[in-house]
Amino acid sequence: MSSLKVTLLSGRSLSQAKAKVSGKFSEEYVQNVAVCELDPDDLKSLGMSPGQNIRVTTRTGSVVVKGLASSQAPHRGIAFIPYGPWANMVLPSETQGTGMPSFKGVEAELTPAPDERVLGLTSLVAEMTRGVSR
Amino acid sequence: MTKQVVPDVVCTFCGATCDDLQVTVEDGKVIGVRGGCAISLRKLTEYGRDRHRTPLMKKNGELQGTSYEEAIHRSAEILTNARYPILYGWSSTSCEASRVGLELAEWVGGVMDNTTTVCHGPTLLAVHDIGEVSASFGEIRERADLVVYWGSNPVHSHPHHTLRLALEKGRFRSGRKDRTIIVVDVRRTDTTKMADHFLQITPNGDYELLCALRMAVRGDELEQGVIAGIQAEKIEEVADLMVGCEFGILFFGVGLTMTLGKHRNVDAALSLIRDLNSRTKFLVMPMRGWYNVAGANQVSAWVTGYPYGVDLSLGYPRYNPGDTTVIDILTRGDCDAALVVASDPVSNFPVEATRHLAQVPVITIDPRPSATALISEVVFPSTVVGIETGGSMYRMDGVALRARAVVPPPPGIRSDVATLRDILAEVKKLKVAASN
């Protein structure tokens, strides 16, 4: 299966912020936050159509989100995921002694994931904390 | 039926902390908002949806409704028994909440950290080193003829920031046409659409470009043809615009603090501004994220001398970002309890930090359900600051604002300040009992 190496950014988007104030357990929140915006040509190079699921993998972890064609192209090689628990699954926690992890500029690999599903918030938190006990 | 228009309402969402909204209230409910952005409109009309209605406590592995008294006692026990608790959040609530939180942190020997730690923490480190030249929004609106947004997309993150400052008419500027707007970002955004000059830099290239701009401002020759993806001629053109303006402002976002270089990127930006001030008047301001993150820094600094990441475990404040900051503490697995106020670290922290948080008892105080509430031992509801309860806050430019309640809170729901005071009183009681 094809794959693509990109630089991953996370950040605030208007739709993420609006969905957040409406409630994190709303369908709107998943629809607007569990997404990865790609340059349309990058999406094409993966053989994907907008709206299909995509797996994002970094050295920290892996997560499935919905792949979208960015309306801000061209930005070949740059992928954007809104701030939120889905992005956090793949972001590293090292702070290089500053207290601040790298939420932007992280190397990632993208692969199409047509047969995998995007987890809802409750399932995602369960996945994050799997095997963890008090 | 009583209908009332409340003027000058403060929006409690982003760090631009707009204070010019008009809210129409009828029978204790918000029915209309004027002057707000898409986010504030949503916040002010949907604050009542999906709320915690009672305190919750984990019993037999599940969160179940409980009384305030029981939840406060359990929270005080958790914090009193902890060796090294973290007290985190504080940016989406009032200064009054931070003040009580700091006293609580002192009593339980914990670490008091706010969301600055995962936002503009590196900015504050750079400000400690270099200093910053700043002003209030009013000065910027009246005078700025050059506005730079660097690593920030305010059209999405702070929707009315540009409307109130860059695009607005000022006393000495007749509006947009009297201002030059420069945007620096790694990708096009809705903010770049309004720019006169857009510099699309390579990811993690901020430090290089800032240093190149400093060279160009000083009149040094740029030897490379392309720096961080930008042609040297373009860098020189932008440097000339900066030197040639009458009153410039650089607003920078977390595009500088979250990427390679972190506080060093901000060092370079502040140094550029220092250089520019030998040629013209130029200011710099971080685009703070939450409506009172600046206030959380202020209160922490008044009380302890330090703006975030303050360790009170030895009975006096210590500050060593990278060590006494929550991501590092969680990643090392050091803390053994957490109090989270008006924040959702499970939605905001890298997974490795969350995995440790899930291993310790967490107390959450938040008006609404969150991912963090799912892993919490105790969850308190709270009123929404700026809608159901008043409070003090600091806008990103350091101007203090007082938000009022515009509607009454839901019956039986207390403010986070009241809950924190009750937990503090119970902690004092347990500590005194233990020492006797």
Give the ipTM of the model, two decimals please: 0.94
Q: For residues B171 and B142, is the Cβ–Cβ distance under 8 A?
A: yes
Give Cα separations from B24 to B6, B10, B362, B405 (angstroms).
6, 14, 38, 13
CATH number, domain containing residue B236: 3.40.228.10
Q: Beta B310-311 vs B318-319: how paired, if at all?
A: antiparallel
For residue B317, give the amino acid letter: P
Mean pLDDT across B168-195: 95
Decide if B203 and A9 are in contact by the 8 Å CB cutoff. yes
Is residue B358 in a domain?
Answer: yes
Inform me whether the C-beta atom of residue A98 falls under 8 Å from chain B C-beta atoms: yes
Based on the fold, state whether residues B197 and B102 are members of the same structural domain.
Answer: no
Based on the fold, state whether residues B208 and B270 are members of the same structural domain.
Answer: yes
pLDDT digits (tens, 9 = 90+) for B313-337: 999 999 999 999 999 999 999 999 9
Is residue B49 in a domain?
Answer: no
Q: Which residues of A touch B352 (CB under 8 A)?
A: 60, 92-93
Is residue B203 in a domain?
Answer: yes
- Stated length of chain A: 134
Confidence of residue A21 (pLDDT cuts 50, 70, 90): confident
Based on the fold, state whether residues B265 and B307 are members of the same structural domain.
Answer: no
Q: Which domains does chain A have, with CATH numbers?
A: 4-128 (2.40.40.20)
For residue B7, give the amino acid letter: P
Neighbours of B197 (CB within 10 A): 15
What is the pLDDT, as a whole number, of residue B416?
A: 98
Is residue B374 in a domain?
Answer: yes
Q: End of a domain among B267, B286, B305?
A: B286
Based on the fold, state whether residues B80 and B208 are members of the same structural domain.
Answer: no
pLDDT digits (tens, 9 = 90+) for B122-137: 999 999 999 999 999 9
Based on the fold, state whether residues B352 and B301 are members of the same structural domain.
Answer: yes
Asked if the model's pLDDT at residue B292 lies above 80, the reply is yes
B141: tokens are 């609106």
pTM, rounded to two decimals: 0.95
What is the pLDDT, as a whole number, of residue B225?
A: 96
Mean pLDDT across B207-223: 97
Mean pLDDT of chain B: 96
Inform me whether the C-beta atom of residue A23 falls under 8 Å from chain B C-beta atoms: yes
Based on the fold, state whether residues B266 and B307 are members of the same structural domain.
Answer: no
Find the residue in A nearest to B52 (Cα): A23
Mean pLDDT across B102-131: 97
Based on the fold, state whether residues B282 and B319 are members of the same structural domain.
Answer: no
CATH number, domain containing residue B64: 3.40.50.740
Looking at the complex, report in whole angstroms how far the Cα of residue B269 sits from the nearest Cα belonging to chain A: 17
Mean pLDDT across A22-27: 88
Is residue B361 in a domain?
Answer: yes
Domain of residue B330: give its range.
56-118+291-387+412-435
Candidate from B118, B159, B189 with C-beta closest to A101: B118
Q: End of a domain among B252, B286, B320?
A: B286
What is the pLDDT, as a whole number, of residue B1?
A: 61
Separation between Cα atoms, residue B80 and residue B120, nearest integer Å:
31
Total domain count for chain B? 2
Q: For residues B113 and B121, is the Cβ–Cβ distance under 8 A?
A: no
Asked if the model's pLDDT at residue B145 lies above 90, the reply is yes
Percent of chain B with pLDDT over 90: 97
Lowest mean pLDDT: which of B1-5, B92-96, B112-116, B169-173? B1-5
Is residue B65 in a domain?
Answer: yes
Q: For residues B282 and B273, is the Cβ–Cβ distance under 8 A?
A: yes
Decide if B118 and A103 are in contact by the 8 Å CB cutoff. yes
Based on the fold, state whether residues B174 and B238 are members of the same structural domain.
Answer: yes
Based on the fold, state whether residues B268 and B176 are members of the same structural domain.
Answer: yes
Based on the fold, state whether residues B128 and B69 are members of the same structural domain.
Answer: no
Inform me whether the C-beta atom of residue A107 falls under 8 Å from chain B C-beta atoms: no
Is residue B22 in a domain?
Answer: no
Based on the fold, state whether residues B176 and B316 are members of the same structural domain.
Answer: no
Inform me whether the C-beta atom of residue A104 falls under 8 Å from chain B C-beta atoms: yes
Based on the fold, state whether residues B199 and B346 are members of the same structural domain.
Answer: no
Confidence of residue A67 (pLDDT cuts 50, 70, 90): very high
Give B49 or B225, the one with higher predicted confidence: B225
Inform me whether the C-beta atom of residue B334 falls under 8 Å from chain A C-beta atoms: no
Q: End of a domain among B286, B309, B331?
A: B286
Looking at the complex, report in whole angstroms how far the Cα of residue B201 sits from the nearest Cα belonging to chain A: 11
A84: tokens are 């939120």
Asked if the model's pLDDT at residue B248 lies above 80, the reply is yes
Asked if the model's pLDDT at residue B191 lies above 90, the reply is yes
Is residue B45 in a domain?
Answer: no
